[in-house]
Amino acid sequence: MGWKSHGLRIKSGRKLRKHVREKRISIAKALQTFEIGQMVHIDIDSGVHKGMPHPRFQGRTGKVIGQRGRAYLVQIRDGGKYKTLIVRPEHLKPAG
């Protein structure tokens, strides 16, 4: 009896679901910029698959610590550890 993977986004359909009026992809969200040290919220846009963080980080708040290409390095605290995520700007929004 072999176990098979169901993919990275298994059991996250409700979390990544979009409402009817949110289906369009916003260009303004893709072009937004963040400064190093700025606090950001992770708000996953399921219409954009590139640069999407794991669904377990949906709703987390972190600090931008760098940039890698078009994506940003976001440091979050998970339990007692700091983790660095590589996230594109479509999945981020400024905190505060």
- Is residue 35 assigned to a domain? yes
- Is residue 2 assigned to a domain? no
- Is residue 78 assigned to a domain? yes
- Is residue 3 assigned to a domain? no
Q: What is the pLDDT of residues 30-61, one digit of tens each?
A: 999 999 999 999 999 988 999 999 999 999 99
Please list the residues that pair with 82 across neighbouring strands. Answer: 77
Q: Tell me, what CATH number does 42's domain have?
A: 2.30.30.70
Q: Which amino acid is residue 65, in one-letter code?
A: I
The helix (run of H) or strand (run of E) holding residue 71 is strand 71-78
Q: Total structural domains in the chain?
A: 1
pLDDT value for 4 = 80
Sort 50 into a burial class: Cβ within 10 Å, 0-12 / 13-18 / 19+. Answer: exposed
What's this model's pTM, rounded to 2 decimal places?
A: 0.86
Give backbone dihedrals phi and psi of 20, rounded to 5 degrees, phi first.
-55, -40
